A = this chain, B = another copy of it.
Amino acid sequence: MESPLEYAIGIDVGGTTTKFGIVNHRGEISNRGDIITNQHTDINKFIDQLYDELRPAIKEIGGDELIKGIGVGAPNGNYYNGNIEYAPNLHWKGVIPLAKLITNKFNKPCTLTNDANAAAVGEMMYGAARGMHDFIMITLGTGVGSGIIANGQLILGHDGFAGELGHTIIRPGGRQHWGTGMKGSLETYASATGIAITAKEMLDERINEKSILRVIPHKKIDSKAVFEAAAKGDKIAKEVFKFTGQILGEALANFVMFSSPEAIILFGGVIKAGKMLMNPVKKHMEKNLLPIFQNKVKLLFSELKESDAAILGASALVWEIKQEG
């Protein structure tokens, strides 16, 4: 039997901030905190700081012996070997044996997974996907991430890298990705970065058309500005979301025909656009589905706060750690 007086530490390593919390069996997070991710180019110093920040929290909840383990979600985090491998948005280059380093420092078992996978597990256990066995989570932030659950399990693939849906090609020969160099991937359009690029392109192409966005210097136009302009009825800004929604909807149709999920759960900063994005997404997803899939797939927004999903999902992996000895 699991002790009710047992906790897991959940850690969400993001491109800018690393958030953490102590989680009980009911999925309640306490003793939250965060540190800057890229402050230390030396991974050991990052872990030292994490340790220092977590010590008082661990003491407060009753001490080290009540912590079952530590779960971490991180970009390019690999569940099988506990390494972060070649994460483009982190300062630590190459292969970082994060789970091992954390285990050594904290003297606790540590499981690592991709941040979007962690968020999907969090959503399944405590969020919009409670009770679902088949769903896809799409995170629309600076980039586009994904976590796929099928038959009630996380799809990891043979090497732990499954679920890179942001890098699937949806416009062959289309816009070049700033990081990967690939052309026409979903992330180049449906991420916050992609939305800002689309807005700038439309403003340049339709130079004689009025837009609130023209008062903002080109460099400062971001997805938030586009959203605010669209909310005020700006025609170009509204078309940016139509265009983005069409591409995302077409991509989602392809994903549905892969794993036939009960729901697709959208997550991340971009979903603040609400119906402005969802309506075209829904329309173009349905249009590109075989009849057997139409009007079946639920399109939902995440029910968890952004950092909570990954902290909860990462901590959930801890409960699965087998007791040794």
User: Chain A: residues with CB nearer than 8 A to chain B?
Assistant: 76, 85-86, 132-134, 148, 150-151, 153, 155-165, 167-172, 180, 182, 250, 253-255, 257-262, 288, 290-293, 296
* Shortest Cβ distance from residue A247 to the other chain B in the assembled complex, whole angstroms: 9
A171, B169: Cα distance in complex, Å: 10
Given A168-B257, A169-B254, A262-B158, also A180-B296 (CB < 8 A)? no
> A86-B291, A172-B171, A288-B182 given as contacts; is B150 within 8 A of A261 (CB)?
no
Min C-beta distance of A81 to chain B, whole Å: 13
Q: Contacting A161 at CB < 8 Å: which of B148, B155, B293?
A: B293
In the complex, how many angstroms separate the beta carbon of A147 from the nearest chain B beta carbon?
12
Provide the main secondary structure of the chain A interface.
loop
Which chain B residues lie closer than 8 Å to A151 at the CB level? 150-151, 153, 155-156
Considering the complex of A and B, which 9 residue pairs feature the smallest CB-CB distances, nearest first? A157-B260, A158-B262, A162-B260, A134-B158, A168-B254, A164-B257, A161-B260, A150-B155, A162-B259
Q: Can you list 10 contacts pairing A with B, beta carbon distance less than 8 Å?
A: A148-B259, A155-B155, A158-B261, A163-B257, A163-B258, A164-B257, A164-B290, A168-B253, A168-B254, A169-B253
**How far, in angstroms, from A259 to B159 measured CA to CA in the complex?**
10
The CA-CA distance from A161 to B258 in the complex, in Å, is: 9
Q: How many copies does the complex hold?
A: 2
Contacts of A153 in B (CB 8 A): 151, 153
A169 contact set on B, CB distance < 8 A: 250, 253-254, 288
Given contacts A172-B171, A260-B156, contact A161 B76 (CB under 8 A): no
Determine whether the beta carbon of A292 is less than 8 Å from that of B85.
yes
Q: Which B residues touch A158, using CB under 8 A?
A: 132-134, 260-262
- How far does the alpha carbon of A222 sit from the alpha carbon of B162 in the complex, in Å? 37
Could you say which residues of chain B place their CB within 8 Å of the CB of A85? 292
Q: How many angstroms between the C-alpha atoms of A254 and B184 in the bound complex?
A: 12
Partner of A172, one of B150, B168, B170, B291: B170
Q: Given contacts A172-B250, A292-B85, are A162 and B182 in contact (CB under 8 A)? A: no
Which chain B residues border A290 with CB–CB below 8 Å? 164, 167, 180, 182
By a CB distance below 8 angstroms, the chain B residues around A148 are: 258-259
Q: Are A255 and B258 in contact (CB under 8 A)?
A: yes
Q: With both chains docked as a complex, state the minimum distance between the C-beta of A120 and any C-beta of chain B, in angstroms.
A: 14
* Chain B proximity of A215: nearest CB distance (Å): 34
Instruction: Give the residue name and chain of the B residue nearest to A260 (CB).
Output: B157
Task: A151 to B167: give the CA distance in the assembly, Å.
Answer: 22
The smallest beta-carbon distance between A144 and chain B, in angstroms, is 11
Give the docked Cα–Cα distance between A254 and B259 (Å): 13
Q: Which residue of B has the minimal Cβ distance to A297?
A: B158
State A134–B165 Cα separation when bound (angstroms).
17
Asked if A159 contacts B257 (CB within 8 A), the reply is: no
